[in-house]
Amino acid sequence: MVNGIIGKKIGMTQVFSPDGTVTPVTVIKAGPCVVVQRKTAQRDGYEAVQLGLVEDKPPKRVTKPLLGHFGQTKRAKERGKQPIPPTRILREFRLESSQDSTKVGDTVLVDQFRENDIVDVVGTSKGRGFAGFVKRHGFGGGRATHGSMFHRAPGSIGASAFPSRVIKGTRMAGHMGVERKTVKGLKVVKVDLEKNIMLVKGSVPGPNGGYLLIKKRIV
């Protein structure tokens, strides 16, 4: 069984419990997904499946190599590959056992999740453009007094005598955000099977409309 699904972040809201407790939740449209490729240990060295997210608007332009990957070309059909409607988003999920019966063409839905399940959510953080030291790394900066001339400057970035260069990895100003982030240990608050919606406690990386990977944590 596939231990995860591809989703899209809808936004955040609140859930009220009977005793009046307020829980902030993220609304995620999880799936439906289709199995596009099955990888085996004998052929690929590991067990995994490649999922494609089925969206309301299919991709308009698909390259010929991708059409062959989805089994839409004549040559792919002659080889016996099952044709699958092309999808825009493809992601891979590991399988725990080679005995897993998942095959190409199977549908993966949000019904694999239940309330109070613990999941890990992977996404791409929001882009912040070019950011300075204080915003990007949380530097304290200098004194804020009048005439200081040292408010949001980085200070020294390396010794001049030795090694006479800036060490790689030194925290400096630069492009902030657009990084792969994983938030672990989030609790599933509610699952709507009809609308393929799941509510996860807390926040997840990325903007509204961003794509996410939701993986069930194995205890």
- Cα separation, 12 vs 204, in Å, equals 9
Query: C-alpha distances in angstroms, 32 versus 111, 112, 125, 176?
Result: 10, 12, 23, 32
Looking at the DSSP assignment, which residues form a beta bridge with residue 211?
A: 8
Give 100-111 pLDDT, tens digit per residue. 678 888 888 888
Please tell me the predicted confidence (pLDDT) of residue 200. Answer: 93
Please tell me the predicted confidence (pLDDT) of residue 22. Answer: 92
- Asked if 161 and 105 sit in the same domain, the reply is no
- Cα separation, 27 vs 22, in Å, equals 15
Please tell me the predicted confidence (pLDDT) of residue 219. Answer: 61
Domain ranges, residue 165 = 131-176
- Asked if 159 and 69 sit in the same domain, the reply is no
- Cα separation, 7 vs 209, in Å, equals 9
Give 76-122 pLDDT, tens digit per residue. 777 777 888 888 889 988 887 766 678 888 888 888 888 888 999 99
- Asked if 55 and 122 sit in the same domain, the reply is yes
- Asked if 14 and 66 sit in the same domain, the reply is yes
Of the CA atoms within 13 Å of residue 80, those in its CB half-sphere come to 0
- Asked if 46 and 84 sit in the same domain, the reply is yes
- Asked if 42 and 121 sit in the same domain, the reply is yes
- Asked if 202 and 166 sit in the same domain, the reply is no
Do 129 and 175 form a contact (C-beta atoms < 8 A)? Answer: yes
- Asked if 27 and 94 sit in the same domain, the reply is yes
Residue 120: CB atoms within 10 A of its CB come to 16
- Asked if 154 and 202 sit in the same domain, the reply is no
Average the pLDDT over 161-168 and give the result: 89
Share of the chain above pLDDT 70, in %: 98
- Asked if 88 and 112 sit in the same domain, the reply is yes
Q: Is the pLDDT of residue 216 over 80?
A: yes
- Cα separation, 203 vs 71, in Å, equals 38
Looking at the DSSP assignment, which residues form a beta bridge with residue 33?
A: 53, 108
Q: How many domains does the chain have?
A: 2
Give 10-69 pLDDT, tens digit per residue. 999 999 988 888 999 999 998 788 888 888 888 888 888 889 888 888 888 888 888 888
* CATH number, position 50: 3.30.160.810
Of the CA atoms within 13 Å of residue 46, those in its CB half-sphere come to 8
Q: Is the pTM of this model over 0.85?
A: no
Q: Is the pLDDT of residue 2 over 90?
A: no
- Asked if 63 and 157 sit in the same domain, the reply is no
- Asked if 55 and 100 sit in the same domain, the reply is yes
